[in-house]
Chain A
Amino acid sequence: MDKLWMYLQLPMVQRALIVSTLIAFCSALLGVTLVLKRYSYIGDGLSHVAFGAMSVAAVVGLTNEMVLILPVTVICAILLLRTGQNTKIKGDALIAMVSVGALAIGYLLMNIFSTSSNLSGDVCTTLFGSTSILTLSVSEVWLCVILSVLVFIGFLFFYHKIFCVTFDESFARAVGMKVDLYHLMIAVMIAVIIVLAMNLVGSLLISALVIFPALSAMRLFKSFRDVTVFAVIMSLICTLTGILVSLLYSTPVGSTIVTVDAAGFLICFFVGKIRGGVRA
C-alpha cells in the first residue's frame, strides 16, 4: 500500500491515470456500435494503420507524433468506410490489405532507419504499449483531454441518431436521416479513439480495450442505454485496476489492462448464464 501511495504522488503517474481514465471512458462508449456494425474489423485495421503512421513519424523525427498519426488514421477510417459500403467482401479484403500493409511498412521503416540500439524493444512498445503511458508530456495530456471531451460531446449529442442508424439503417435512410454523414462521424470518432488508446495499450490490443467492455455489458443488459452505461463503468474499473496492478507488480500496462478486461468479461458471461438459467 505504501508503495502504491508513493506512486500516486508522482506527477507522471497522475497524468497516466487521468489519460487512461479518459481513454477507458471514450473507448467504451463506441464499443457497442463497433461490435454490432462489423466495425470491429475497421477498428483492428485502423490500429495497424496508426502503427504504420507512428513508425513514419518516428523515422522522420517528429517530436509530436500525433500531428501525423491522427490525420492519417482519420483519413484511412473514412476511406475504409467508403469502400466498405459499396461492396462488403471487397471492403473486408481491402481492410486486411491496408492493415497488414501498414504493419509491414511500419516495421520495415523502423528497421531500416532506426537509430535506437533496442529496436525490438521499440517495436514491442508500439505494439503493446508497455510504458508510453508513463512518459506522456503535458501537451500530450492536454491533447488527449481535448480529444476525449470532443468524442464524449459528439457521442452524447448524436447518441439517439447513432442508435437509430445502428439498429436499422434502411429505416433511418427511408425517413430522411443523413445516414452516410453519421457513419462518417462514427468512423472519425473510432479513429480518434484508436489513436488515443494506442498510448495506453499499444496498437495490437486496442480492439480488446474497445470491445471487451461492450461484450461484457451485452451479457447482462438488454437496452442500448444500459449497455452503454455499464460498458463505460466496466471499462473504467478494469482499466484503473489494470494500471494499479501493473504499477505494483511492474507488469506491462497494456496487457495487464486487457487481461483484467478479459477476466471481467468472463465474470459477466457466467453471471449472465446464471441469471438467464434462473429466468428460463
Chain B
Amino acid sequence: MALLTIKELVLGYESRAILKPIDFQVNKGDYLFIVGENGSGKSTLMRTILHLQPPVSGQVIMGDGLKANEIGYLPQQTLVQRDFPASVTEVVLSGCQAHAGLRPFYTKEDREKARRAMEQMHITELAKRCYRELSGGQQQRVLLSRALCASGKLLLLDEPVSGLDPKVTGEMYDLIGELHEKGLTVIMISHDISAAVRYATHILHIGEQVLFATNEEYRRSEIGRAFLKEVNYNG
C-alpha cells in the first residue's frame, strides 16, 4: 500500500472548489515536487493532506502504517504573535514533540537531534537568540530545523527555499537529497522548476490542468515543456 493515497480530492474553502479533482499516490522513498502558479492551490493541497482543513470531497488515505506523528511540516507562513518570547533552541526542540507522546521532558536524543538539525541549517550560533528578532531567512531556517526534528517517515515542505540565500538554498537541496537517499519520503512545494527536474522522482503540476507524472514523463509532457520554457525565459 502507498504511504499516501489521494483519491478524487477536491480542494476548496467553505465547500467552494478551487480545483478539479486530484488523484495521486506517494510511495515510500518518493521525492515529490508540487509546482504551479501563485494561487493555484498548492498550499491548500498540503494543508488538506495534513488534515489542517477539510476537503470539499474526496479522501486522503494514509497507508503503510504512517502515523501523523511521523510527519514533519514546514508551513509557508507562520504567524507568530508579536512579542512571543521563544528562543531558537526552544522552537527547534518543539519539533521533537511529534514523537514525545506524553513524555514531559526532552531526551538526550531529542537534544542531539535538535543540535544536528541546527548545525545542518547553520543556525548554531543563533541558538540563544529570540525567534522574533531574526531575519526572514533566519526564521525560515529555524522552522526547517524544527521540521527536520519532527519528520520520521515523511517531510512536507511548503516553499522551503523562499527567502534563503543561494548558498544555503544549495545546501538545503543537498541535505534534503541526502535524507531522501536514506529513505525519507519528501513532498515539496517549490517555484524552483530547475530544482524540481533535477531532484524529484515525481512532479505534480496543478493549475488549469492537473498533471501527476514521474520526472521523465513530466519533462516530455506538453504542460511540463511549456512550463519549463516559460520559467527559463523569465529566469
Contacts and interface: CB of A to CB of B under 8 A. Distances in A.
Interface stretch (A40-48, A50-58, A171-179, A189-197): A171-179
A163 B90 contact: yes
A222 B85 contact: yes
Interface string A138-174: 0000000000000000001111110110111011111
A168 B80 contact: yes
A32 B69 contact: no
A171 B78 contact: yes
A160 B51 CA distance: 23
Q: A-B pairs with the 5 shortest C-beta distances?
A: A176-B68, A222-B130, A223-B87, A175-B98, A176-B69
B199 to A, nearest CB: 23
Contacts of A167: 80, 84, 86, 90-91, 94
B223 interface: no
A158 B156 CA distance: 26
A180 interface: no
A36 B86 CA distance: 12
Nearest to A168: B78
Range, interface on chain A: 20 to 34
Given A159-B104, A175-B150, A224-B85, A170 B94 contact: no
7 contacts: A160-B93, A160-B100, A160-B104, A173-B51, A174-B156, A222-B130, A223-B128
- Chain B interface, DSSP helix/strand/loop, else mixed: mixed
Contacts, number: 97
B97 A224 contact: no
A218 B81 CA distance: 13
B31 interface: no
Interface of A: 32, 36, 156-161, 163-164, 166-168, 170-177, 217-218, 221-227
A222 B100 contact: no
A226 B85 contact: yes
B40 to A, nearest CB: 21
Contacts of B225: none
A171 B156 CA distance: 11
